[in-house]
Each structure stands twice: as structure tokens, then as C-alpha cells.
Amino acid sequence: MNKEFFAAIAQVSSEKGVSREVVLDSLRTALAAAYQRSYEAEDQDIQVDVDPTSAKIRVIRTQTVVEGEAQHPNELSLAEARERKRTAKIGERIVEDVTPENFGRIAAQTAKQVIQQRIRDAERDKVFQEYAGRQGDVMLGVVQRVDPSRAIFLDLGRIDVQAVMPASEQIPSEQYRPGQRVRVLVLEVQKVPRGPVQIICSRANRAFLRRLFELEVPEIKNGAVEIKMIAREPGQRSKIAVHAVQGGVDAQGSCIGQRGMRVMNVVSELSGEKIDVVLWDPEPAKFVENALSPAQVLSVRIDEMDRTAQVVVPDRQLSLAIGKEGQNARLAAKLTGWRIDIKSKSAVDRSEPQAELAATGTES
């Protein structure tokens, strides 16, 4: 090995963005493997010492001194050990320089292959660390292809990563086509033994909605407003509960924006998904009332034991409170964590006299 070789290592380190020590470590591993294979020393304890300053390489074999005959290539009898070192003792480790004059073409080729593989591994580790730090971020990708399983493969601008959005992470109402630009949430980053780093993306996850509001609403980004809860049915409707951390800030108004522009920008990104922004409240009854917005609520009675909220609404508001196919009530229950039982005012009024009769045991 000459100085030009080490200059090439420095160049590889610079071009690939891999530390010089990682490349040198790859070289040590490669040369040790090349020696063991070429000189039938697979069972021997072989280490390679590389001095990049002098461009010197030494192959070192270590053997342990044992009593009696050696039974393993890593063992050395006491008599053999004392031929190399007169003061050798049982249990001592004897180090010997076994550097051959020429590794040969096979050894050099093996070293080259291992170095290349280690460099690829180091590059993959670097990419993994880069994207692992972006988990939970929103990125812009371009649809490459749609798999028969409906998985969407995306180009994030790097050839050393493979981004995929499974069918379960897509908004059901959306159709994707090659060349289309889409914003996605980096949901999970996976490192596989071979091939590019795998990135699982999502547009259906609740965290995607949270990040969109963080990007759209400065008050959320700077901590003046906090998103406390999110309930979402992707592509259809979502509810977010917000709370003002900083006094004097209108949490709901900040998220909606002037003339509703902020929330409409998020709605547009989600292909028309309806979004209700409601105020979070530490009082369960008040929070349930807010969560059923836009319906008007007359009263809420909380049953702590059953985790149930008994809600009374005006007759004309009953269908709005329940929502189409129960969606409004369902999302409100997910948002608050309470099971919600909604009744109209007239239904409650009709049941009250019956309840009184049952309690007194009298008949008219």
C-alpha cells in the first residue's frame, strides 16, 4: 500500500461525506479478511494495523500460551512461545508480525470489495440519521408510481432513500398519479441491511394535521397556542381542541385566521376535509359542549363512574349534534374521551313525568 492509496481514501472520505476513520476502519477489516482467506487463517486472531501517516500496514497475529500441546490456531505451546520470547509464561498472549510480502490480487480485490461495502454502509447510516431526525416533519414528495397494492412510492429528492405511503396511510378520497407533488408526514424511518433507507409516509395520520396547523399558525409554532387533542376521520372531518397558553391570545381565532384563511389553507391541503376548531376546557362538561360544535347545547351532565356525558340539545339541533351517520358525536367522543349520549329537549321533557310517577308509585 502506498501514499497514493491513502490519498485516495482521503478523497473518498471527502466525496462521500464519511469520516476518514470510518474508511480506515473499513480498510483494516478488509485487509484482515483478505489475509485470513488468502492464507488459510480463518480461525486465527488476526488484526491489521494501519498507519496513514507512513502508509505502513502490519498484519498482527495473537496467540495464547498454553500448557502442553496447542489445540487451536490461536494457541501456542510453552516451548514454541519461548522460541520467540524467552520469558514467555502460561496464559500470556504472544503477538507476532505476520505481514506477507504481497497480499496478491485476490487479497487486494477482497479488500476493495469490503471497503466499498463498508463505505456504502456508512453512507446509509448517515442518511438514516439525517432522516431519523426528521421523523414527524412534513416533506414535499413527487409520486413515482402506484403499486398494485395501492401503496404510493414517492421521490423525496434523494436516490439513497425509498419513500412509500401505504394504503392505510392515505386519505381515502384522494387519487394519486405519477408526477403529482404531495406533502406527506415522515411517519417512520427504517434501516434495512441492504438497499436504500426506507421512509414510511402518511397523509392520514393525526400528526399530519397537527403539523399542518403548526406550519400555518405562528401562534402554535411560537407556543402561544397549544393543540391539546385531535380527532380525525381522514378525508371527511376532523376536530382539534386548542388552548391559549399565553394570556390575551384568542386560540380559536388564531387557528381559524382572518376570514377563515388559515383553516381554509389546511382544508385545501387535505382535499376539502372539514375541520372544526374548538376550545379545550379543563371542565369536562364545558369541553364536551365545545366539542359538539357547531351544534348548540342546552346542558351537559357528567357521570364520572361511567365516563358518560348526558347532553341535551334543542330539537332543531339534534341532527346537527349527532351529525351525518353519527360523525359529529363520534368525533366529539374521540376528542374528549367521554361517551356522549345526546337527547333532544322535548324527549327529556317527555321522560321527566314518567320518571316522577315511577318514583312515587302513584297512578293518575
Q: 185 and 213 in one domain?
A: no
pLDDT value, residue 361: 37
**295 lies in some domain:** yes
More confident site: 221 or 19: 221
Q: 236 and 213 in one domain?
A: yes
pLDDT value, residue 251: 96
Q: 149 and 107 in one domain?
A: no
Q: 72 and 150 in one domain?
A: no
Average pLDDT estimate for 292-297: 95
Q: Judge whether residue 35 has pLDDT over 50.
A: yes
pLDDT in tens, 90-131: 999 999 999 887 765 666 676 677 777 777 777 788 888 888
**136 lies in some domain:** no
pLDDT value, residue 107: 62
pLDDT value, residue 100: 85
Write the secondary structure of 128-188 as one string of H (helix), E (strand) and C (coil).
HHHHHCCCCCEEEEEEEEECCCCCEEEECCCCCEEEEECHHHCCCCCCCCCCCEEEEEEEE
Cell numbers 487463517 correspond to: 41
**294 lies in some domain:** yes
Q: 296 and 181 in one domain?
A: no
Give me the number of domains the chain comprises: 4
**253 lies in some domain:** yes
Q: 125 and 24 in one domain?
A: yes
More confident site: 58 or 261: 261
Q: 95 and 186 in one domain?
A: no
Q: 95 and 52 in one domain?
A: yes
The secondary structure element, H or E, covering residue 93 is: strand 93-97
pLDDT value, residue 322: 95
User: Of 2-11, 62-71, 253-262, where does mean pLDDT reach its minimum?
Assistant: 2-11
Show which of 219, 252, 280 is a domain's final residue: 280
Q: 8 and 122 in one domain?
A: yes
Q: CATH number of the domain that 155 lies in?
A: 2.40.50.140
pLDDT value, residue 191: 84
pLDDT value, residue 101: 78
**309 lies in some domain:** yes
Domain that holds residue 172: 141-202
DSSP for 186-209, written as a single string: EEEEE--SSSSEEEEEESSSHHHH
pLDDT value, residue 145: 93
**175 lies in some domain:** yes
Average pLDDT, the chain: 88
Q: CATH number of the domain that 14 lies in?
A: 3.30.1480.10
Q: CATH number of the domain that 330 lies in?
A: 3.30.300.20
pLDDT in tens, 236-279: 999 999 999 998 999 999 999 999 999 999 999 999 999 999 99
Show which of 259, 280, 301 is a domain's final residue: 280
Q: Are strands 308-313 and 339-344 parallel, antiparallel or unpaired?
A: parallel
Q: Judge whether residue 352 has pLDDT over 90.
A: no
Q: 213 and 196 in one domain?
A: no
Show which of 80, 100, 131 is a domain's final residue: 131
Q: Please, which pLDDT band fits residue 359 given cuts at 50, 70 and 90? A: very low
**100 lies in some domain:** yes
pLDDT value, residue 360: 35
Average pLDDT estimate for 119-145: 87
**63 lies in some domain:** yes
| Verdict on whether the full-model pTM lies above 0.95 | no
Closest CA to 293 of 246, 261, 348, 255: 255
Contact of 80 with 70, CB cutoff 8 Å: yes
| Residue 152 neighbours by CB under 8 Å, 6+ apart | 143, 145, 146, 164, 165, 170, 176
Q: 263 and 176 in one domain?
A: no
φ, ψ for residue 32, nearest 5 deg: -65, -45
Percent over 70 (pLDDT), the chain: 91
Rounded distance between C-alpha atoms, residue 364 and residue 355, angstroms? 14
Q: 42 and 107 in one domain?
A: yes
